[in-house]
């Protein structure tokens, strides 16, 4: 019938039918020379695909493992193999990071294990293998080319800001309280963007407002604010005159929704391009209105001006004037009939956000309960359009990552019946589970998009998995000689690991 359908799922149905995340385990190996320099890496990923393939699940279990495993390191050779299985559970799909957290987890857990086995400090081993800024652009073993980054600077900032050298004093203080303290470090780099078609458009409305049109969909990220900042900074239109039209397939020429940490580098960059197209239209139309040659028109701070004179017209005033002239048929056919502009791109660029996470935990040896007591992140997201929103994305990502490490787990019985179908049974992290999450930034502008931005939406989750796990294993290895624990690291598992020698 062509009518739109609105459907709202019940929470219990959502637990049962929405795609799940992760559900994989891997065998990873790293080869080093006698100086601790990486020679090669190999990953065999065993992935549960569920009952049938979801839209993004296969890429999370294959391509994104390959693309993200090399991380920030000079890894000369890489072999990745995925063994996927169909099972009688809900399909696995894209969950914050979609293969990136898994890949970085495999690498950073392997780096910690290698450091312990070779007797090399974990920070030093990472430093020996970091890609230097002078090597950019750098073609990684994944086949992708990193455009920018200062990985050692980011790592050094994280070590200093986390008071790495003061850890032993904090560990002794925890021991005095009967608790076991551990710390974990994780570097990360993730590939963001993707090849899905995207658009950006600007429409000048009758009421003097301007509608930004985007194929990306905001479901809590706050797209309106940075989009408006991009357009306002280019066209000098008051932010309160800008509105956002998103996700309406009847109004869009392209768009694939929100995913892959791609919104600013794709949709944001296209809104910037649309702004430039508006200026081009405005030069032609203001020349007609002001009775001047187009080459004499300058655009500065929202005004179209005849060079060398005080004759000018503001962009919003011009939009209204053009609307009147177009309605009267008074604009030549060879000129644009409005300031409106839209543009699309079939292959939005990638970006390579990176950073370092440091986590510290306290474990109660009597119960196995793990408490996160210190967390710090240093990120390189390129140019930050709105730092506050970026920090919010990092906080949310870290919380989701910590939830996966400590408690979140979808459980089925032997007959394939879901046992964790509500929040009574499925554990979720809460605010009281977290210390202040410290955030610092070292932006190195991306060269792959005109905003110089790098994706930030999933990075917090990507770094949190290995950082917190490494902190837990730091305790287990020291106290019980245990160097691995399956996630989630529930109190029962942690207690059993601590008592493994008994």
SS (H, E, C) 225-241: HHHHHHHHHHHCCCHHH
How many whole angstroms separate alpha carbon 144 and alpha carbon 467?
Answer: 25
Cβ–Cβ < 8 Å for 372, 433: yes
Q: Give SS3 for 402.
A: helix
Spatial distance between the Cα atoms of 259 and 263, rounded to a whole number of angstroms: 7
Instruction: Give all strands of the β-sheet with 437-441 in edge-to-edge order.
Output: 180-189, 354-363, 370-380, 437-441
Specify whether the CB–CB gap between 155 and 127 falls below 8 A. yes
Burial of 495 (0-12, 13-18, 19+ CB in 10 A): middle
| Closest among 213, 127, 154 to 379, alpha carbons compared | 154
Please enumerate in sequence order all residues whose Cβ is within 8 A of that of 149, keeping only pairs 6 or more positions apart, or say none. Answer: 72, 131, 133, 136, 189, 352, 354, 380, 444
Residue 40 in contact with residue 75, Cβ under 8 Å? Answer: yes
Q: How far is CA 200 from the centre of its chain?
A: 21
Integer angstrom CA distances of residue 114 from 125, 236, 355: 9, 54, 21
CB atoms within 10 A of CB 313: 20
pTM of the model: 0.93
What's the CA dihedral at 290, 292, 294, 299 to 10 degrees?
Answer: -50
Strands (E), 33-150: 38-50, 78-86, 138-139, 145-146
Could you tell me the domains of the chain? 18-192+350-498 (3.30.365.10), 198-345 (3.30.365.10)
pLDDT tens by residue, the chain, 502 residues: 788 888 898 998 999 899 999 999 999 999 999 999 999 999 999 999 999 998 888 888 999 999 999 999 999 999 999 999 999 999 999 899 899 999 999 999 999 999 999 999 999 999 999 999 999 999 999 999 999 999 999 999 999 999 999 999 999 999 999 999 999 999 999 999 876 788 999 999 999 999 999 988 888 898 999 999 999 999 999 999 999 999 887 888 887 778 888 889 999 999 999 999 999 999 999 999 999 999 999 999 999 999 999 999 999 999 999 999 999 999 999 999 999 999 998 777 789 999 999 999 999 999 999 999 999 999 999 999 999 999 999 999 999 999 999 999 999 998 889 999 999 999 999 999 999 999 999 999 999 999 999 999 999 999 999 999 999 999 999 999 999 999 999 999 999 999 987 6
What secondary structure does DSSP assign to 113-133, as a single string?
Answer: HHHHHHT--HHHHHHHHBPPG
The pairing of strands 145-146 and 437-441 is unpaired
Contact call for residues 378 and 435 (beta carbons, < 8 A): no
Are β-strands 437-441 and 370-380 bridged in parallel, bridged antiparallel, or unpaired? parallel
């Amino acid at each position: 019938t062509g009518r739109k359908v609105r459907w709202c799922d019940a929470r219990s149905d959502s637990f049962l039918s929405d795609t799940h995340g992760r559900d994989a385990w891997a065998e990873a190996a790293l080869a080093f020379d006698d100086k601790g320099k990486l020679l090669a890496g190999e990953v065999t990923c065993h992935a549960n695909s569920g009952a049938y393939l979801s839209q993004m699940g296969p890429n999370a279990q294959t391509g994104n493992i390959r693309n993200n495993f090399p991380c920030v390191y000079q890894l000369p050779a890489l072999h990745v193999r995925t063994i996927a299985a169909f099972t009688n559970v809900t399909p696995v799909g894209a969950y914050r990071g979609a293969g990136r957290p898994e890949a970085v987890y495999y690498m950073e857990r392997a780096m910690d294990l290698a450091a312990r086995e070779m007797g090399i400090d974990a920070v030093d081993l990472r430093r020996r293998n970091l890609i230097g800024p002078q090597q950019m652009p750098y073609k990684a073993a994944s086949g992708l080319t990193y455009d920018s980054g200062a990985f050692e600077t980011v790592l050094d900032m994280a070590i200093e800001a986390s008071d790495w050298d003061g850890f032993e004093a904090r560990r002794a203080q925890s021991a005095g309280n009967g608790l076991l303290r551990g710390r974990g470090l994780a570097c990360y780099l993730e590939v963001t963007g993707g090849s899905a078609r995207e658009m950006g458009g600007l429409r000048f409305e009758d009421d003097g407002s301007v509608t930004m049109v985007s194929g990306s969909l905001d479901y809590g990220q706050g797209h309106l604010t940075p989009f408006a900042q991009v357009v306002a900074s280019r066209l000098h239109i008051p932010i309160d005159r800008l509105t956002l039209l998103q996700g309406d397939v009847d109004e869009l020429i392209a768009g694939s929704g929100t995913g892959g940490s791609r919104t600013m580098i794709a949709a944001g960059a296209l809104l910037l391009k649309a702004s430039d197209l508006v200026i081009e239209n405005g030069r032609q139309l203001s020349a007609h209105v002001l009775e001047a040659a187009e080459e004499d028109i300058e655009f500065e701070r929202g005004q179209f001006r005849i060079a060398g004179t005080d004759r000018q017209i503001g962009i919003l005033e011009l939009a209204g004037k053009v609307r009147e002239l177009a309605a009267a048929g008074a604009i030549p056919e060879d000129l644009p009939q409005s300031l409106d502009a839209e543009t699309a791109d079939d292959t939005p660029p990638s970006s390579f956000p990176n950073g370092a996470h440091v986590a510290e935990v306290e474990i109660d040896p009597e119960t196995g309960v793990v408490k996160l007591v210190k967390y710090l992140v240093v990120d390189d997201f390129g140019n930050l359009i709105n730092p506050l929103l970026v920090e919010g994305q990092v906080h949310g990502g870290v919380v989701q990552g910590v939830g996966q490490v400590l408690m979140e787990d979808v459980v089925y019985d032997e007959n394939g019946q879901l046992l964790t179908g509500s929040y009574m049974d499925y554990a979720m992290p809460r605010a009281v589970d977290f210390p202040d999450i410290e955030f610092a930034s070292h932006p190195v502008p991306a060269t792959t998009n005109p905003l110089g931005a790098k994706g930030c939406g999933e990075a917090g989750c990507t770094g949190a998995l290995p950082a917190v796990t490494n902190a837990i294993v730091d305790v287990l290895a020291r106290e019980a000689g245990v160097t691995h624990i399956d996630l989630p690291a529930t109190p029962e598992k942690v207690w059993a690991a601590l008592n493994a020698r008994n």
